[in-house]
Amino acid sequence: MGHKIELDDVQSPNSHQWEELTKPLRNGAVGSRILVTTRKEEVVTLMKANAELMPLKKLGETFCLSLFYYHANIDESIVSKEFHDIGLELVKRCNGGLPLATKTLGSLIHLELDDSERKEVSKIRYLCLLHATKSDSLVSLLCNYKRLRSLTMIDSFNRFIGSIFESIVQLKSLGAITLCPEWTVGLEEIPETIGGLIHLRYLDLSGNKMLEEFPSAMGSLYNLQTLRLVGCKLIRRVDVERLINSRHLYVKHCDSLRLIKGIEKLSHLQRLDEFRLRGRNNLEHLKDLNQLQGSLTIQIYGHPKMADNAAILVNKPHLLQMELNFISADELSQREIMDGLQPHACLESLFISWYKGGTFSHWLSSLHSLRVLILRFCRNIKTLPLLGKEETSIP
């Protein structure tokens, strides 16, 4: 009798991992099958599927709405017409009927109905505010949600935060906060009172273009695992020294950032989207961050201080994509800098831009798993190192 293995929602194809997985299965019992679900055609191509593909249609609105109510823990049969219309409008935005998006949205809402008033909502865990403005009613509203676990405010404020934050820090059960302005300039400062949210695990302040610094009280958030600061263009210094439980740090497009203080202590850090080699940021600060995975962009400014050895990035086997942007410096310096940026041989994708040198570092030939190489504005390069079978000339 054959066996079955299910791999659900495969997102990041990796030829090496797939080959290792299938090796012990090649001599399996007759009738054995591997069922793979994915939203990406390249996954199917990578796996060289020889069976019939079964494209799935998106769910209709009725089924989407039922799925939404189920994961939001709401009895569909007793909701009011007003709430029904709101729910219908929400599921229409779930990418046109994708069940995963619908389930996720329902889980975020996750309302619990009160036993005494079955037609009303008493206990809110997740709250999302769109385009909210400063008002006494909003402050009062937040104060009533003592069991709130997650608060999202999108395009909901413009430089006013004091009174709102005073209400937010009273919500001691908060585990996730998202304060993204989108169309407004956003916050200019974060009050010290944020240090009282000791259960906070997720903080997203992306897009707050006027934010320049963090209060020292941020160090009290020792349970924080994810900090997102994407697009905080004026922030110059981020202190993560005491955030020892951090797993994810996103600082892309923080154009003024010159120091991530204490990053060398985050030995459990798994995701770092960008690191700027300038100011007091040193490549050696990444030496012990060997759990880094996914992709990493390194912005290289001028003549940064490089590590004494080239083992900083080569010890990070889980980094599969790397982007090197040479902002300035002369040809000779850039070649020396590149020599110190050698990645692990498992790297699958490499993007190099604005490199002025005439040749690349020797380590490019050692990237045996490399599947994608993109060169942008590397105008002095005439030949590439050995890639595959032979040296490649560039016309």
Contact yes or no for 88/67 (Cβ under 8 A): no
With 0-12 CB in 10 A as exposed, 13-18 as middle and 19+ as buried, what is 130? exposed
- For the question of whether the overall pTM of this predicted structure is more than 0.85, the answer is no
| Residue-by-residue DSSP string for 156-178 | --SS--HHHHHHHTT-TT--EEE
Q: How many domains does the chain have?
A: 2
- Torsions phi, psi for 162 (to 5 deg): -50, -65
If phi > 0 it is left, if psi is from -120 to 50 it is alpha, else beta; for residue 279 that is: left
- pLDDT tens track, the chain, 395 positions: 667 778 777 776 677 777 777 777 777 677 777 778 877 777 777 776 566 677 777 777 777 778 877 777 776 766 666 667 777 777 776 656 677 777 777 766 654 444 443 334 366 788 887 777 666 566 667 777 888 899 888 776 654 555 677 788 888 889 999 888 876 677 888 888 888 899 999 999 998 888 888 888 998 999 999 999 999 999 999 999 999 999 999 999 999 999 999 999 999 999 999 999 988 888 899 999 999 999 999 999 887 766 655 578 999 999 999 999 998 767 778 888 888 899 999 999 999 999 998 888 889 989 999 999 999 999 888 887 777 554 455 55
Contact yes or no for 262/241 (Cβ under 8 A): yes
- Asked whether residue 232 is domain-assigned, the answer is no
- Asked whether residue 152 is domain-assigned, the answer is no
- Asked whether residue 82 is domain-assigned, the answer is no
- Asked whether residue 359 is domain-assigned, the answer is yes
- Asked whether residue 79 is domain-assigned, the answer is no
CA pair distance 16, 87, nearest whole angstrom: 43
- Asked whether residue 112 is domain-assigned, the answer is no
- Asked whether residue 270 is domain-assigned, the answer is no
Question: Which amino acid appears at position 322 of this protein?
Answer: M
CA angle, 276 as apex, 329 and 228 as ends, to 5°? 160
With 0-12 CB in 10 A as exposed, 13-18 as middle and 19+ as buried, what is 181? buried
- Asked whether residue 381 is domain-assigned, the answer is yes
Contact yes or no for 277/298 (Cβ under 8 A): yes
Range of the domain at 362: 276-395
